[in-house]
Amino acid sequence: MIILPGTSGEMGILPNHTPLLTSLNFGIITVKTKGNQEHFTVAGGIAEVLPNKVTILADAAENVEEIDVERALAAKQRAEERLKSITASDIDRYMRASYALKRSNLRLQAVQKYRKISKTRI
């Protein structure tokens, strides 16, 4: 089973699912196999579901087990600092900094939820 963060809400995909194409929100993709679960952050994109295959084209995706917490914390701090210094007229820079902050927060929340790590580190 695969759980996807679709733009209309979370959706569970089982084998032999009806084909569909959906856009993805920022969120967590969960892949469940016999006795095993893997979690991936995804920062938007699309998913194509076929009866026995799921293809995901993502703007950014990362296995939660491979997230570098120190790097994510540094990215969050940089994005917050950029947002403070951006003027209202610079929408492009604001959007990029907002995206970076949203992605770093997603990565840190995923680590807290799915990895056994001290919350005081984050």
Can you tell me the mean pLDDT for 38-67? 94
> What is the percent of the chain with per-residue pLDDT over 90, rounded to a whole number?
80
Can you tell me the mean pLDDT for 65-69? 94
pLDDT value of residue 23: 96
d(CA 66, CA 29): 14
Helix orientation angle between 91-114 and 69-85, rounded to the nearest 10 degrees: 150
- The dotted CATH code for 67-116 is 1.20.5
Other residues' Cβ atoms within 10 Å of the Cβ of residue 28: 18
The one-letter code for the residue type at 58 is A
d(CA 15, CA 121): 39
Q: Where are the domains of the chain?
A: 2-64, 67-116
- Please check whether residue 66 is in contact with residue 45, taking contact to mean a CB–CB distance below 8 angstroms: no
Please indicate whether the domains covering 2-64 and 67-116 agree at the CATH topology level. no
Can you tell me the mean pLDDT for 83-112? 91
Place of tokens 């929100």: 25
CA separation, residue 40 to residues 9, 29, 70, 118 (Å) = 17, 5, 18, 20
- The topology under which CATH files domain 2-64 is ATP Synthase; domain 1 (2.60.15)
Which of 44-48, 66-70, 77-81, 86-90 comes out lowest in average pLDDT? Answer: 86-90
